[in-house]
């Protein structure tokens, strides 16, 4: 297995020549940069040339965090390109389509989303849904890493747009009325087929047979056994169709939309974004106070609505059914990114992370999975139902550092770097063997490795 090198002396790694920390770092940096350079597409980075050939929202935030370590201009360009496609209501679309690509380069493509018919959509063709708002913290990290006149100018341009993004999510998406944003589609969580969505998705009427009318692009490029099923896709399509029928408007969602869920990751990101905006505000001459107040309110709402004191875990709330979903996934660990998470919840998240469910340790013997390893529906090969992904590991790593758990942060970082060193910049990894799965040249894996290397 690749993760962790138990017993290795400081600076010397198991495995002989080429295995010192310095050599590993140089090798990883070369690989990561080559991956990001190969995926650069005139004004943005594609997540993967084969599977995801357009621009994706939260990918671009992670990519910017990595790019700043080598190509700071491109880090800002990445964010500017994405926000140039922001809608008038403040939503940042989860995909910005590249008009130069042939129809069918991705499913569902621009013709399916039909954003041009929606009020307030930008000139560029986009999807109509969002992804976790990790852009304000990303912009702050990019600036802090390489502060310059250009970075201040970029923050000035981005600040009102980031504020509008927050306003959209907190005002228009508070379908549950408790101060949190609800997602209208599993794709909005970024963890598409996580077991977290099984219960609320089961209530979405869909017929697998509808998929006969479409050509899935993903299964032409990746093993179908690793991807969401056709029934999952039928439900994804049904949810887009329902939201599109209302022209992507958010009024009265509770009465008409079949999937409304408060996700711990989306809402933790919302809180961290207010913290980042408070810092950005001080650079651009705005008032940080309202951002700090909003951050505190979001953290409080997250604890009140998504923390279950009986199991000591955070879980998504199905707004329509008004209950927490049963699955214990990696999403439950994500509130650790909140610097003001109360001590009782910090302890609970650490206990869950260090349990056999997720195996976090100062010396990890296996990478962090995306689902509870002990659950009967844990699937080591299928996308977000078990495999290890760099972005969820990186978010937890940042959270551990913020809460002064340097020992656990070091163990997780080691595991992430070893995983990529052994398998390459894959999209995701087998949570037992560390084998690379999905796209072999995936941008956020490369970017987050660059960040982990720089901040060791
Ligand atoms: C749907 C681009 C995106 C990521 C998501 C990941 C996957 C798309 C898909 O790829 O989702 O948005 O086609 O499966 O789940 O997190 O942003 O990398």
d(C-alpha 115, C-alpha 122), whole Å: 8
Q: Is the CB of 190 under 6 A from ligand 1?
A: yes
Atom index in ligand 1 nearest the CA of residue 127 equals 12
Report which protein residue has its CA nearest ligand 1's atom 10.
52
Report which protein residue has its CA nearest ligand 1's atom 14.
192
N residues, the chain: 456
Atom index in ligand 1 nearest the CA of residue 94 equals 12
> Are the C-beta atoms of 352 and 328 separated by less than 8 Å?
yes
168 pLDDT band (50/70/90 cuts)?
very high
> Are the C-beta atoms of 14 and 5 separated by less than 8 Å?
yes
Residue 215 has what pLDDT? 87
Average pLDDT over residues 352-360: 98
Residue 18 has what pLDDT? 59
Round the average pLDDT of the chain to a whole number and report it. 95
Per-position DSSP letters for 81-105, written without gaps between them: HHHTT--TTS---SEE--TTSPTTS
Residue 16 has what pLDDT? 41
Is the pLDDT at 1 greater than 70? The verdict is: no
73-87, 202-216, 287-301, 438-452: the lowest-pLDDT one = 202-216
Non-local (6+) Cβ contacts of 258 within 8 A are 203, 204, 205, 238, 239, 242, 320
The single residue listed with the structure tokens 């930008």 is: 122
Q: Which residues belong to the active site?
A: 192, 427
């Amino acid at each position: 297995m690749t993760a962790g090198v138990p017993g290795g002396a400081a600076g010397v790694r198991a495995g002989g020549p080429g295995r010192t920390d310095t050599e590993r770092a140089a090798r990883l940096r070369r690989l990561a940069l080559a991956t990001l350079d190969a995926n650069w597409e005139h004004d943005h980075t594609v997540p993967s040339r084969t599977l995801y050939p357009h621009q994706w929202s939260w990918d671009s935030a992670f990519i910017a965090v990595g790019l700043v370590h080598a190509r700071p201009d491109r880090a800002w360009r990445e964010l500017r390109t994405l926000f140039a496609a922001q809608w008038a209501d403040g939503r940042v679309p989860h995909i910005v389509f590249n008009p130069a690509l042939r129809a069918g380069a991705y499913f569902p493509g621009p013709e399916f989303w039909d954003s041009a018919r929606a009020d307030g959509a930008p000139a560029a063709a986009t999807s109509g849904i969002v992804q976790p708002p990790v852009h304000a913290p990303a912009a702050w990290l990019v600036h802090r890493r390489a502060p310059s006149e250009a970075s201040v100018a970029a923050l000035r341009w981005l600040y009102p747009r980031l504020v509008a993004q927050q306003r959209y999510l907190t005002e228009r998406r508070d379908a549950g009325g408790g101060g949190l944003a609800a997602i209208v589609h599993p794709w909005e969580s970024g963890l598409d087929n996580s077991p977290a969505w099984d219960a609320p998705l089961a209530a979405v009427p869909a017929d697998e047979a509808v998929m006969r009318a479409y050509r899935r692009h993903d299964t032409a490029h990746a093993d179908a056994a690793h991807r969401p099923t056709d029934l999952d896709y039928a439900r994804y399509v049904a949810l887009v169709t329902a939201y599109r029928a209302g022209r992507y408007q958010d009024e009265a969602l509770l009465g008409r939309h079949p999937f409304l869920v408060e996700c711990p990751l989306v809402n933790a990101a919302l809180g961290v974004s207010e913290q980042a905006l408070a810092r950005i505000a001080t650079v651009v001459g705005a008032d940080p106070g309202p951002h700090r107040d909003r951050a505190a309110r979001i953290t409080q709402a997250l604890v009140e609505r998504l923390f279950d004191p009986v199991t000591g875990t955070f879980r998504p709330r199905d707004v329509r059914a008004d209950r927490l979903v049963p699955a214990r996934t990696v999403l439950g660990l994500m509130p650790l990114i909140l610097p003001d998470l109360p001590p009782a919840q910090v302890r609970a998240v650490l206990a869950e992370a260090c349990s056999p469910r997720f195996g976090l340790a100062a010396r990890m013997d296996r990478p962090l999975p995306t689902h509870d390893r002990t659950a009967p529906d844990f699937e080591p090969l299928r996308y977000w139902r078990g495999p290890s992904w760099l972005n969820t590991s990186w978010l937890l790593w940042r959270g551990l550092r913020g809460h002064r758990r340097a020992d656990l942060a070091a163990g997780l970082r080691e595991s992430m770097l070893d995983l990529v060193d052994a398998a390459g910049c894959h999209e995701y990894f087998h949570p037992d063997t560390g084998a690379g799965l999905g796209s072999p040249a995936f941008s956020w894996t490369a970017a987050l490795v660059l960040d982990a290397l720089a901040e060791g």
